[in-house]
Amino acid sequence: MMRIAVIGECMVEMAPVDGGLYRMGFAGDTFNTAWHLRRLLDEQHQINYVTAIGDDATSTRMRDFIAASGIGVDHVQRLPGASPGLYLIGQEQGDRVFSYWRSHSAARRLADDEAALARALEGAALVYLSGITLAILTPEARVRLWAVIAASGARVCFDPNIRPRLWDSAEQCRDVLSDAAARSWCVLPSFGDEQALFGDDTPEATLARYRQAGAEVVVVKDAENPVLMDVAGHRCQVAPPMLAGGVVDATGAGDAFNAGWIAAYLSGQDPQAAAHQANAHAAKVLRVAGALLTS
């Protein structure tokens, strides 16, 4: 059995429904990927979510939802007096907009207890985390997190998932993400975000930069353009499928792509086949509202 530890923040999602009301759900970049991994991998792969939540009723509902999704919750820390972060989805000129309340999220303390974190990663073959995971932690907590990951011996799969508002400065963001790439086996960047932060001219420049940083595998997503990959020096690209009917909602499509690629690659498919599966899975998410496939 392969153990996969997914580290990050699951949030309360308030999504609009008819009548001006809101429906409460749970989502978040790394959790979305864990949710899709559980559906794409067989039971020989154990998916555990590593985070911190509060001891309030909403945190209990979140933990129950994670468990009901088939994802391990043994290492979801419960912090007395804390609560999860929340985001609300709105509409502005026909587009979805997001408002966040996460500055006091319990997940910001997921790496405060080094011993608990070490137990969570014990026996893990793969650790998945994102730039958002790193952004919500203090510098000291990031040091603890990387020390525990290194001690575990697990390979790291990392999505930079750049969110400038979560960082003190662009320089800090660049430094932390570059350091993370140097510690990672696989990096899964999105070209548009990388171009804005690092000034990359092309997806090839993004790929080269992360390969130079030390990542063995780099998979560059580029919206409707071909996926560009380099796996241990072997480069290829795969065009996405035509999306009949257009995009309903792009939320979580990158998270679904990551899960599709990781699941296919871990199942023994070659990089091109893995990218085809990842594109197909992301396309399913693009056709529905929300980050998860509920049917």
How is 19-30 classified by DSSP, letter by letter? GGEEEEEEE-HH
- Whole-prediction pTM: 0.93
To the query of whether residue 255 is one of the catalytic residues in this protein, the response is yes
Answer whether 5's CB lies under 8 Å from 124's CB.
yes
The predicted pLDDT at position 19 comes to 83
Digit-coded pLDDT (tens) for 111-138: 999 999 999 999 999 999 999 999 999 9
Distance separating alpha carbons of residues 245 and 158, to the nearest angstrom = 31
Sheet bearing 45-53, strands edge to edge: 76-78, 45-53, 2-7, 126-130, 155-159, 186-187, 217-220, 227-231, 234-238
Catalytic choice (193, 200, 222, 255): 255
Complete domains list, the chain, with CATH: 2-286 (3.40.1190.20)
Helices 191-198/170-182 angle, 10° precision: 120
Q: Kindly give the confidence (pLDDT) of every residue in the chain, 295 residues in length, as a single tens digit, with 9 standing for 90 and above.
A: 899 999 999 999 998 888 889 889 999 999 999 999 999 999 999 999 999 999 999 999 999 999 999 999 999 999 999 999 999 988 765 567 889 999 999 999 999 999 999 999 999 999 999 999 999 999 999 999 999 999 999 999 999 999 999 999 999 999 999 999 999 999 999 999 999 999 999 999 999 999 999 999 999 999 889 999 999 889 999 887 765 556 555 566 889 999 999 999 999 998 888 888 888 877 786 665 655 656 5
Digit-coded pLDDT (tens) for 37-72: 999 999 999 999 999 999 999 999 999 999 999 999
Distance separating alpha carbons of residues 98 and 87, to the nearest angstrom = 7
Q: Are strands 21-27 and 11-17 parallel, antiparallel or unpaired?
A: antiparallel
Backbone torsion region of residue 251, taken as left when φ is above 0, otherwise alpha when ψ lies between -120 and 50, otherwise beta: beta
